[in-house]
Amino acid sequence: MEEAGHAYLLNQFADELNSGHCIVASVFVQAGYAYRTHGPEQLRCVGETEAVLRLRGEAQRRGLSTDVAAAIVGFADLSRGNRAAEVIEAHLTAAPDCFRGIRHSVARDSHFPNGIVLRPAPADLLLQSAYRAGLALLPRYGLSYDAMLYHQQIPELVATAQALPDLHIVLDHYGCIIGVGPYEGRAAESFAHWRRDLSRLARCANVRIKLGGLGMIICGARWHERARPPDSSELAEAWRPYFETCLDLFGAERCMLEGNFPVDKAMYSYRACWNAFKLLTRKASVSERAALFSNTAARTYGIRLHASPKRAVLHG
C-alpha cells in the first residue's frame, strides 16, 4: 500500500476516517503489499493477508469505530489452475474469519504493450482454460472474484461470467475506462463502447460492480495538475453519466460505492469523494442508498454491519 512512494497504512487511513463520514467497515483489496520474502514463490502473496490481519488487530486494539479490513481480498495466481487451491487455502488459514475473495489482474490493452502503471497481463488470460480452472475453485471456497481489467476487455468478462455462472464476480472501477494515449480526447466514443459492453455484462446475474476509481490517471483524470483539487459538486457532475448508467443497468442491489484510496488521493480528498457520492444519490430511495453505501458490499464480502444502513459506508 503505497501513496506516491510513501506507506499508506493504519495511521493514514485513520486520518481519513476522521474526515466527517460514518465509515463503519472497510474492505481491503489486493495491493501487492508485504509479501513474504521466503518460502515457495506461489505462497509469498499470503504475507499480504497476514500483514493486513495484523493491521486489523491494531485497529481493534486502538478502539477505532470502523471495522478495518472487515473483509480481505488477496492474490492467487489463478493461471495455475487447480494448483491455486493451496494458495487459496493458505489465505483462508491465515484469516479464516475475514478472507473473502481473490483478485488476479487481467488488465491488458494492445495500445500499451508495456502496460499502464500495471504490468500487462498475458493476452486473453480470462479466456484461457487454466485461468478458468482457477476461477472455478473460488465458489467451492465461498470466495468472490474481483475483476481488474480495462474497458475494452469487458466482452471477455461477459464470456467468463456466462461460462462460470456460480462464480460471484465484482467488476472493479466501473471497468476502468482508459482515457490516456490513443483514448485521450475520445471520451464520448469510449463511453458508448463501454455502455454497450456493460449492458451485456449486466445481463449476467452473477456480476456486481464497484462505482469508484475514476480518479486514476489511467482513466484520464487531470485534477492533480490544478492549483486546487475539485470539490464534491464537481466530482459528482463528472461522475454522474457513469454512475447513472451503472445504476440503470445493474440496479442498486448489484452496485457498491468504492473509495479506491489511497490511489485516488492524488486527485481529491476522501471527504470530497464521499460527499460526491452523497450528492449523486440524493434522488435515490432509502433502500437504494442503503444498498449503494453498504448492503451490496456487505452481502458480497460477508460483512456483518453493526450500524444503521442509512449511515453505513464501506471503503472499497
Instruction: Match domain 2-315 to its CATH number in 3.40.50.1000, 3.10.20.30, 3.20.20.140, 3.90.420.10.
Output: 3.20.20.140
Q: Quick one: pLDDT at residue 313?
A: 47
In the chain, % of residues over pLDDT 90: 90
Inform me whether the pLDDT recorded for 2 exceeds 80. no
Please give the residue that has the higher pLDDT: either 165 or 311. Answer: 165
Averaged pLDDT, 16-31: 93
Dihedral, CA atoms, 52, 67, 65, 170, nearest 10 degrees? 110
Residues 32-69 pLDDT 10s = 999 999 999 999 999 999 999 999 999 999 999 999 99
pLDDT interval class at 6 (50, 70, 90): low
Residues 275-301 pLDDT 10s = 999 999 999 999 999 999 999 999 999
Structure-block grid coordinates of residue 191: 463511453
What is the residue whose three cell numbers read 476522521?
18
Distance CA 146, CA 143 (A): 10
Domain extents for the chain?
2-315
pLDDT interval class at 310 (50, 70, 90): very low
Please give the residue that has the higher pLDDT: either 133 or 4. Answer: 133
CA 255 to chain centre: 12
Inform me whether the pLDDT recorded for 117 exceeds 50. yes
Distance CA 87, CA 156 (A): 25
Averaged pLDDT, 167-194: 97
Averaged pLDDT, 91-111: 97
Q: Which residues contact 165 (CB under 8 A, 6 or more apart)?
A: 204, 205, 206
Distance CA 102, CA 169 (A): 10
Mean pLDDT, the chain, rounded, equals 94
pLDDT interval class at 245 (50, 70, 90): very high
